[in-house]
């Protein structure tokens, strides 16, 4: 079956379900007559079946995305969500979030490219105009670096952590929400953050204080910059949906992209708490530079091991199937150990 034939055969049912969804959202679904509720459920089951076929036969077609959006809009109107459980949260972080990160890799790489472009531009600007260094980095900072006292003055680290986390979340939210405006604010935030880091890093490099500077940045910066890149990726995902809705209506395309992006946004908020804590406690501490660099390196290794490797096997499903296999093996061993199975195959003495 071709995709055109598939659409022509089922289009009427999809249109009926879409109208039913609009009607249900304007009023209360419970107020509908029993016959209409039954019809709503039937249409949703048909659409879910059609979605399964479309995913198998036409995975890259726009109709598959349309059906996915339609079912996602209709399902919560008819079925109540399951209560939040610890296993659900565990599964989200162990499987759902890493898979969402890998599924959005093209947008995340594009976000990283914008941040790197801003960093490179800032570095080149200072390299070409060294006289700008004094206006970007206070001379007192170089004096502290020269004396080896680079740690910041953080009299109330818990309060500082709270402030830093709020600021980081604000930047991440701008990256995320900027996607609605076809990603322009998102791109600006990524470029400007890269520019600021690049100019300061180049200015510090000219002064010969790279080790002291990066020991202040790396402990929290590995996670913090990763989160900004992830948030930028979600914004670019929304911007792509706004620019290229394909066969969907622009609002539906944005809604579908937002559902995919919100998983990454929730994960990014969690990581920002970790980054803010490190920025307030570890980065400005009096620990040796080597120790602080090690903290950042280990944090980055753990972060990307989790994002790139976790969730490749669904351990909940694996444990369930393993239990079934163990039960089958036990039953088989019991049958083989039965007296009839163990009896010798002796010849009949009467023969």
Per-residue pLDDT of the chain (351 residues; tens, 9 = 90+): 788 888 889 999 999 888 888 877 655 566 666 777 788 888 888 998 888 888 888 887 888 888 988 888 888 777 655 555 777 788 888 888 898 899 889 999 999 999 999 999 999 988 888 887 777 766 666 666 655 555 544 444 454 455 556 666 777 788 888 888 888 999 999 999 899 888 888 888 877 778 877 887 888 888 888 988 999 999 999 888 888 887 777 787 888 888 888 888 888 888 888 877 776 666 666 778 788 889 889 989 999 999 999 877 655 555 555 555 555 555 455 555 544 444 444 444 444
Q: Domain check: are 39 and 147 in the same one? A: no
Looking at residue 146, its pLDDT comes to: 58
Residue 332, domain member (yes or no): no
Q: Domain check: are 181 and 285 in the same one? A: yes
Looking at residue 345, its pLDDT comes to: 47
Q: Domain check: are 66 and 202 in the same one? A: no
CA separation for the pair 294, 161 (Å, rounded): 21
Residue 237, domain member (yes or no): yes
Provide the number of structural domains found in the chain: 2
Structure tokens at 181: 């405006």
Evaluate whether 103 touches 47 at the Cβ level (below 8 Å). Answer: no
Q: Which of 220, 187, 219, 218 is nearest to 201 (CA)?
A: 218
CA separation for the pair 260, 238 (Å, rounded): 9
CA separation for the pair 316, 298 (Å, rounded): 28
Q: Which of 66, 90, 80 is nearest to 249 (CA)?
A: 66
Residue 131, domain member (yes or no): yes
Residue 258, domain member (yes or no): yes
Q: Domain containing 57: what range?
A: 3-78
Q: Is 60 exposed, middle or buried (0-12, 13-18, 19+ CB in 10 A)?
A: exposed
CA separation for the pair 50, 6 (Å, rounded): 9
Q: Domain check: are 172 and 272 in the same one? A: yes
Q: Domain check: are 160 and 302 in the same one? A: yes
Looking at residue 30, its pLDDT comes to: 60
Estimate the share of the chain in helix, then strand, then coil, as percent rounded to the nearest 5: 80, 0, 20
* Domain stop point among 52, 78, 104: 78
Residue 184, domain member (yes or no): yes
Q: Domain check: are 192 and 107 in the same one? A: yes
Residue 86, domain member (yes or no): no
| Dihedral angle computed from the Cα positions of residues 289, 290, 293 and 295, in that order, rounded to the nearest 10 degrees | -110
CA separation for the pair 125, 130 (Å, rounded): 8
Q: Domain check: are 117 and 61 in the same one? A: no
Structure tokens at 309: 């490797």
DSSP string, 282-300: TTTSSS-HHHHHHHHHHHH
Distances, alpha carbon 83 to alpha carbons 72, 80, 260, in Å: 18, 9, 21
CA separation for the pair 243, 289 (Å, rounded): 46
Q: Domain check: are 43 and 147 in the same one? A: no
CA separation for the pair 278, 291 (Å, rounded): 13
Q: Domain check: are 54 and 126 in the same one? A: no
Q: Which of 256, 292, 268 is nearest to 68 (CA)?
A: 256
Question: Which parts of the chain are beta strand (E)?
Answer: none
Q: Domain check: are 105 and 53 in the same one? A: no
Q: Is 341 exposed, middle or buried (0-12, 13-18, 19+ CB in 10 A)?
A: exposed
Q: Domain check: are 123 and 214 in the same one? A: yes
pTM, to two decimals: 0.64
CA separation for the pair 38, 16 (Å, rounded): 13
Residue 243, domain member (yes or no): yes
CA separation for the pair 112, 118 (Å, rounded): 10
Evaluate whether 293 touches 196 at the Cβ level (below 8 Å). Answer: no
Structure tokens at 226: 């990763």
Q: Domain check: are 143 and 24 in the same one? A: no
CA separation for the pair 34, 30 (Å, rounded): 9
Residue 316, domain member (yes or no): no
């Amino acid at each position: 079956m071709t995709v055109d034939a598939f659409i022509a055969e089922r289009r009427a049912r999809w249109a009926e379900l879409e109208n039913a969804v609009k009607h249900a959202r304007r009023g209360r679904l419970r107020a509908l007559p029993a016959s209409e509720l039954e019809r709503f459920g039937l249409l949703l089951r048909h659409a879910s079946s059609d979605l399964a076929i479309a995913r198998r036969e036409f995975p890259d077609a726009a109709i598959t995305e349309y059906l996915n959006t339609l079912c996602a809009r209709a399902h919560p109107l008819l079925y109540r969500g399951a209560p939040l459980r610890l296993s659900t949260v565990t599964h989200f972080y162990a499987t759902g979030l890493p898979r969402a990160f890998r599924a959005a890799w093209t947008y995340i790489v594009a976000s990283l490219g914008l941040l790197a472009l801003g960093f490179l531009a800032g570095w080149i600007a200072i390299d070409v105009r060294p006289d700008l260094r004094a206006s970007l980095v206070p001379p007192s900072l170089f004096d502290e670096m020269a004396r080896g006292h680079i740690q910041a003055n953080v009299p109330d680290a818990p309060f500082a952590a709270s402030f830093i986390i709020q600021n980081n979340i604000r930047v991440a939210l701008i990256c995320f929400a900027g996607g609605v405006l076809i990603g322009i604010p998102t791109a600006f935030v990524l470029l400007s953050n890269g520019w600021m880091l690049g100019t300061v890093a180049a200015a510090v490099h000219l002064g010969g204080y790279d080790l002291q500077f990066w020991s202040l940045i790396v402990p929290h910066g590995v996670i913090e910059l990763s989160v900004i890149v992830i948030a930028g990726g979600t914004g670019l995902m929304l911007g792509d949906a706004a620019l290229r809705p394909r066969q969907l209506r622009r609002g539906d395309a944005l809604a579908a992209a937002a559902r995919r992006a919100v998983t990454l946004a929730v994960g990014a908020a969690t990581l920002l708490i970790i980054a803010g804590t490190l920025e307030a406690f570890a980065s400005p501490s009096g620990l040796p530079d080597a120790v602080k660099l090690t903290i950042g390196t280990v944090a980055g290794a753990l972060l990307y091991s989790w994002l790139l490797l976790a969730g490749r096997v669904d351990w909940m499903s694996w444990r369930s199937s393993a239990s079934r296999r163990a039960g089958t093996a036990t039953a088989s061993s019991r049958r083989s150990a039965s007296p009839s199975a163990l009896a010798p195959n002796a010849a009949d003495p009467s023969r």
